[in-house]
């Protein structure tokens, strides 16, 4: 699948510092020191009800990761998927009496537009689950042949016991796992499973549902976790730097994905860091498709909101915090954007070299975007209050805000 166009990232003087980031698996902050090519996999949308502010906030966090790495003069190898066949997508298509492929294509196109407007850097590989199926089948066969998977009434399940590290991403106890598994696409109560938590790798064809050739597995479609694993291993290999997504993906999705990959390869860990963004709420509840309490990026754009203001609103919260979207959050971002634009439109100003370092330091410190905004705010206040004579300062601030925060002034 094609991704979306990249906005240019200006090069800044000097060099950024290595990223320290909170890792869910080790439950602490680690310093990542990737090679010349940093590798990141970020879970993509299930293409319906996209792009809401919660999605945008999560992708914003991983866009910052890319920008920090680019500023350290590394290349970034970024892979993202689209879950373009899945139970909830098929259910939505059925509910609205539309073709599921058309729904997925339309929503993916809208997501691309939103990502472009928000200046999110695109992945080099943007891969749909459907197009990944030929690569998924042999992985499931391998797991089965190695005794890490078993058949139940035609469906194929992964045996969580096959990975000695299972549980090491989310650190939840068995009861919490069981509850979340039931809530998030699993079937812990299905009789006949070896372990209630075992997730499906391959689902035998159901009447009225799309299915594909599964070789020795029979016709069917893939389970959710193996899709992301197949795509990640194909394009990044084991031991990539970051597996990213929202905190609702830590269990079961990233836990199971890591176990699939580790059981397949015998290597550990699948990713150096498992990074999870907090959940955005609306009216006191997590913004979610199932509840329908959604604010769409495209609706805001249509209403004339500058995408740069949406981006500043996202950046005004730490990526790991759970936070609430309100009109006040957006109003504040609109006002900040205006102040920043006024400050950099002056022909000269006060020196900004220290600001570049402050923004770098804030982001390298577990992507502390609010601290980065505060640093720019301080420069902007001084710039408006003082008559500086550094002709290069406004341009340098513009480039810094563009390169490191993705905001075009
Ligand atoms: N297709 C799968 C991942 S393989 C999926 O979770 N899709 S999604 O459309 O439901 O979510 C896309 C991304 O947005 C995920 O990383 C998810 O964790 C994140 N996300 C969903 N809702 C919110 C929210 N309210 N706040 C923050 N992030 C969210
Ligand atoms: Zn995923």
Going along the chain from its start, the domains and CATH numbers come out as: 19-297 (3.40.50.620), 303-405 (1.20.120.640)
User: Which atom of ligand 1 lies at the shortest distance from residue 58's CA?
Assistant: 28
- Contact status, residue 58 vs residue 277, Cβ threshold 8 Å: yes
CA distance linking residue 247 with residue 236, whole number of Å: 22
Q: Which pLDDT score is estimated for 52?
A: 97
Residue 210 pLDDT: 97
Residue nearest to atom 28 of ligand 1 (CA): 54
Q: What's the CA-to-centroid distance between 56 and ligand 1, angstroms?
A: 9
Cα of 290 vs centre of ligand 2, distance in Å, is 18
- Left, alpha or beta for 111 (phi > 0: left; psi -120 to 50: alpha)? alpha
Q: What is the pLDDT of residue 290?
A: 80
Q: Which pLDDT belongs to residue 289?
A: 82
Q: Closest ligand 1 atom, CA of 248?
A: 18
**Given the CA of residue 278, which atom of ligand 1 is nearest to it?**
27
Ligand 2 ion: residues within 5 Å (CB): 43, 228
Confidence (pLDDT) at 291: 86
Task: Report CA(220)–ligand 2 centroid distance (Å).
Answer: 19
Ligand with smallest separation from the Cα of 247: 1
Distances 21 to 14, 199, 346 between C-alpha atoms, Å = 22, 29, 36
How do the pLDDT tens digits run along the chain, 409 residues long?
999 999 999 999 999 999 999 999 999 999 999 999 999 999 999 999 999 999 999 999 999 999 999 999 999 999 999 999 999 999 999 999 999 999 999 999 999 999 999 999 999 999 999 999 999 999 999 999 999 999 999 999 999 999 999 999 999 999 999 999 999 999 999 999 999 999 999 999 999 999 999 999 999 999 999 999 999 999 999 999 999 999 999 999 999 999 999 999 999 999 999 999 999 999 999 998 888 899 999 999 999 999 999 999 999 999 999 999 999 999 999 999 999 999 999 999 999 999 999 999 999 999 999 999 999 999 999 999 998 999 999 999 999 999 999 999 9
Q: Which residues have any ligand 1 atom within 6 Å of their CB?
A: 43-46, 54-55, 57-58, 81, 83, 228, 245-246, 248-249, 277, 279-280, 286-288
- Taking CA atoms, 130 is separated from 104, 222, 249, 399, in Å, by 11, 9, 20, 39
User: How much distance in Å is there from the Cα of 395 to the middle of ligand 2?
Assistant: 39
> Structure pTM?
0.98
pLDDT given for residue 333 in this prediction:
98
Dist. CA 74 → ligand 1 center (Å) = 27
Query: How far does residue 338's CA lie from ligand 1's centre (Å)?
Result: 30
Mention every residue, 6+ apart, whose C-beta is less than 8 A from residue 371: 362, 365
DSSP 380-392: HHHHHHS---BTT
Please give the pLDDT value at position 292.
86
Ligand 1 atom 18: residue of nearest CA: 246
């Amino acid at each position: 699948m094609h991704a979306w166009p990249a906005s240019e990232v200006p090069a800044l003087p000097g060099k950024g510092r290595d990223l320290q980031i909170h890792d869910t698996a080790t439950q602490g902050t680690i310093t990542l020191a990737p090679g010349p090519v940093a590798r990141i996999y970020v879970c993509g949308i299930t293409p319906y009800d996209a792009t809401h502010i919660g999605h945008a906030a999560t992708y914003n966090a991983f866009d910052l990761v890319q920008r920090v790495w680019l500023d350290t003069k590394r290349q970034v190898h970024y892979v993202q998927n689209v879950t373009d066949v899945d139970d909830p997508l098929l259910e939505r298509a059925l509910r609205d009496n539309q073709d599921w492929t058309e729904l997925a294509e339309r929503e993916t196109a809208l997501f691309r537009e939103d990502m472009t407007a928000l200046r999110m850097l695109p992945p080099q590989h943007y891969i749909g689950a459907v197009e990944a199926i030929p690569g998924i089948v042999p992985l499931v066969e391998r797991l089965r042949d190695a005794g890490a998977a078993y058949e139940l009434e035609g469906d194929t399940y992964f045996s969580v016991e096959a990975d000695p590290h299972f549980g090491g991403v989310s650190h939840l106890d068995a009861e919490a796992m069981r509850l979340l598994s039931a809530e998030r696409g699993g079937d812990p109560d299905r009789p006949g499973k070896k372990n209630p938590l075992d997730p499906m790798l391959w689902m035998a064809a159901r009447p009225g549902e799309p299915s594909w050739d599964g070789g020795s597995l029979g016709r069917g479609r893939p389970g959710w976790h193996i899709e992301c694993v197949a795509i990640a291993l194909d394009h990044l290999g084991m031991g990539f730097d970051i597996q990213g997504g929202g905190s609702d993906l830590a269990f079961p999705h990233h836990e199971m994905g890591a176990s699939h990959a580790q059981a397949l390869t015998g290597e550990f860990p699948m990713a150096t860091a498992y990074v999870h963004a907090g959940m955005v709420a609306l009216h006191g509840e997590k913004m979610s498709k199932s509840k329908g309490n959604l604010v769409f990026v495209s609706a805001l754009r249509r209403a004339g909101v500058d995408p740069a203001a949406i981006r500043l609103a996202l950046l005004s919260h730490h990526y790991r915090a759970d936070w609430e979207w309100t009109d006040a959050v957006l109003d504040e971002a609109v006002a900040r954007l205006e102040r920043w634009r006024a400050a950099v439109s002056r022909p000269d100003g006060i020196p900004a070299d220290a600001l570049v370092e402050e923004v770098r330091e804030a982001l390298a410190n577990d992507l502390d975007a609010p601290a980065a905004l505060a640093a720019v705010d301080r420069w902007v206040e001084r710039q408006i209050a003082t008559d500086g004579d550094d002709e290069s300062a406004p341009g340098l601030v513009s480039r810094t805000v563009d390169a490191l925060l993705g905001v075009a002034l």
